[in-house]
């Protein structure tokens, strides 16, 4: 018998899944979270659920929020099941399900006044977010972009905000007027220095309408940096059906993820925080070494295998890793060009860390997909790949493999795989990138005109040379032959 997930059915769900040992009805909110997607529910929400299960921190429950139509859809799905989520953790050798209950409400995008009022409540001591790398209104160098249309509009109309940052400012302003201690703002996105980036966007937007308020934020609001990690694919019919068939639970939008998870944070929470160190979160003086390791080795690794996978018509990540050329490409690139420029990380062997990444990518149960890794490259390439390229060039080191990653991305945006299959893009800049990629078949420099993506890297003669040769080889020889040439150290034109 299938159990329709709800608070009333938790006892029945316990037959096949772990369930909270606390009463969700007794929780009170302490955190508002923007962006209630799969990663948040597999990561931050799971850590909070772990803490609540110890009997501690019950005044740190989550209220979800968002500004997009997808946020409204997520609210409807979760509200129908009392904001519960089934998390299915999948390792190579085992699979287990648990129902989590740290979220007690989601405020819909059309209830902005109610959200601002909730943000002003003294009980809310943390505002966190997972709004993707592209949600911070920054340029290729990671600087706030005040010319973005959404920022221009919120800057002109701070009393009627439409963005996450505009809403945060409205909440902070109301707290200041009422004499309420400001909340801590905590980014949980894969951005180097995510706390600094968040601070720059919040203060940058505030300066557009109220410089004095911006100065107050600078002196009174904390923005801790953090590193987050857990591979969490998108949910679809496959995942919903697996949960029904294997665990007899009917969840409107379950989350499937790997067993591994990691969260490293700076301990900078003036208004207080939950005792997450008791459930595995690492609090450290400086997150930068950890986040740089993760962003360049793991996220950079994802970007490395995504585009050859697409061009060779591979759907699942583990299948790409089972392809001998793609796996060897990843290993050679990481060991020769990426890992050597990653600074030391406390108590961490980087070669062993990469071995762990390989095993995680090979996990067949996750069902993570190459199209997911390939999406939003216009925001991901400048954060995950091009910084390694830039740093190697600054040291005078070669970038044959990293240039090939950029060339594979360009070849992907031409719109067809090596077999002629039409590629479906998921990138806000897809139209202009495709137009440039098609021109680049004859003139590789046509793809390097986007300063907001490539920055100074595109002006480097060695990079332009390596990129052009790699792209021309991809068009002339195909993806597999080009990868083999790279592996044989023959993808170099002097």
Digit-coded pLDDT (tens) for 229-287: 999 999 999 999 999 999 999 999 999 999 999 999 999 999 999 999 999 999 999 99
- % of the chain with per-residue pLDDT over 70: 100
Q: How far is CA 244 from the centre of its chain?
A: 28
What pLDDT is recorded for position 18? 98
Higher pLDDT, 192 or 308: 308
Q: What is the mean pLDDT of the chain?
A: 96
pLDDT at residue 297 greater than cutoff 90: yes
17 dihedral zone (left: phi>0; alpha: psi -120 to 50; beta): beta
pLDDT band at residue 46 under the 50/70/90 scheme = very high
* Mean pLDDT (whole number) for 197-215: 98
- Whether the Cβ atoms of residue 186 and residue 164 lie closer than 8 Å to each other: no
Structural tokens at position 144: 């706030």
Q: What kind of architecture, by CATH, is found in domain 3-285?
A: 3-Layer(aba) Sandwich (3.40)
H/E run at residue 64: strand 61-65
Residues of the chain with CATH 1.10.1040.10: 288-488
CA distances to 233, 423, 427 from 371, rounded to whole Å, are 10, 9, 11
Q: Where are the alpha helices (DSSP H) in 312-450?
A: 317-322, 324-333, 350-361, 370-374, 377-384, 386-395, 400-412, 430-440
pLDDT of 144-155, one tens digit each?
999 999 999 999
- Residue pLDDT, tens place only, 110-120: 999 999 999 99
- Could you tell me the pLDDT band of residue 44, with boundaries at 50, 70 and 90? very high
- Domain boundaries for CATH 3.40.50.720 within the chain: 3-285
pLDDT of residue 494: 67
Which pLDDT band, with edges at 50, 70 and 90, does 93 fall under?
confident
Residue corresponding to tokens 């209630």? 36
CATH among 3.40.50.300, 1.10.1040.10, 1.20.1110.10, 3.10.50.40 for 288-488: 1.10.1040.10
pLDDT tens sequence across 344-394? 999 999 999 999 999 999 999 888 999 999 999 999 999 999 999 999 999
Tell me the two tokens of residue 474.
Answer: 């991809």
pLDDT, residue 367, reads 87
């Amino acid at each position: 018998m299938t159990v329709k997930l709800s608070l009333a059915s938790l006892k029945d769900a316990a037959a096949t899944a772990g369930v909270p040992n606390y009463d969700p009805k007794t929780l009170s909110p302490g955190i508002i979270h923007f962006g209630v997607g799969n990663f948040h529910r597999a990561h931050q929400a799971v850590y909070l659920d772990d803490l609540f299960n110890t009997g501690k921190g019950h005044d740190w429950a989550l209220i979800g929020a968002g500004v997009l139509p997808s946020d409204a859809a997520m609210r409807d799905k979760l509200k129908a099941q009392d904001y519960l989520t089934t998390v299915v953790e999948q390792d190579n050798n085992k699979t287990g399900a648990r129902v989590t209950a740290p979220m007690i409400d989601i405020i819909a995008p059309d209830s902005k006044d109610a959200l601002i009022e909730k943000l002003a409540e003294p009980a809310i001591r943390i505002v966190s977010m997972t709004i993707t790398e592209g949600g911070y209104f920054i340029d290729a160098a990671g600087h706030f972009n005040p010319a973005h249309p959404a920022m221009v509009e919120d800057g002109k109309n701070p009393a009627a905000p439409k963005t996450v940052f505009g809403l945060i400012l409205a909440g902070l302003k109301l707290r200041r007027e009422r004499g309420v201690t400001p909340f801590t703002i905590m980014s949980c996105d894969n951005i180097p220095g995510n706390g600094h980036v968040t601070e720059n966007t919040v203060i940058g937007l505030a300066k557009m309408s109220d410089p004095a308020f911006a100065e107050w934020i600078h002196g009174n609001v904390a923005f801790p940096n953090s590193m987050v990690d857990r591979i969490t694919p998108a949910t679809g019919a496959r995942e919903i059906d697996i949960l029904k068939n294997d665990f007899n639970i009917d969840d409107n939008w379950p989350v499937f993820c790997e067993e591994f998870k990691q969260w490293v944070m700076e301990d900078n929470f003036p208004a207080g925080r939950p005792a997450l160190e008791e459930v595995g979160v690492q609090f450290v003086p400086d997150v930068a070494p950890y986040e740089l390791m993760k962003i360049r080795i793991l996220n950079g690794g994802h970007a490395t295998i995504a585009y050859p996978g697409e061009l060779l018509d591979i759907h699942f990540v583990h299948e790409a890793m089972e392809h001998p050329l793609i796996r060897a490409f990843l290993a050679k690139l990481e060991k020769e060009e990426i890992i050597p420029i990653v600074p030391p990380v406390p108590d961490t062997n980087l070669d062993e860390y990469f071995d762990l990444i390989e095993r995680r990518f090979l996990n067949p149960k996750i069902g993570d997909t190459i199209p997911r890794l390939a999406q939003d490259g216009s925001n991901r390439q400048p954060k995950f790949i091009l910084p390694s390229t830039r740093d190697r060039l600054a040291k005078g080191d070669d970038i044959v493999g990293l240039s090939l990653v950029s060339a594979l991305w360009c070849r992907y945006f031409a719109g067809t795989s090596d077999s002629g299959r039409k590629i479906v893009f998921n990138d806000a800049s897809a139209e202009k990138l495709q137009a440039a990629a098609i021109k680049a078949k004859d003139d590789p420099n046509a793809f390097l005109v986007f300063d907001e993506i490539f920055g100074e890297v595109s002006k480097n003669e060695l990079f332009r040379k390596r990129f052009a040769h790699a792209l021309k080889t991809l068009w002339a020889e195909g993806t597999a032959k080009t990868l083999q040439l790279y592996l044989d150290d023959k993808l170099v034109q002097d």
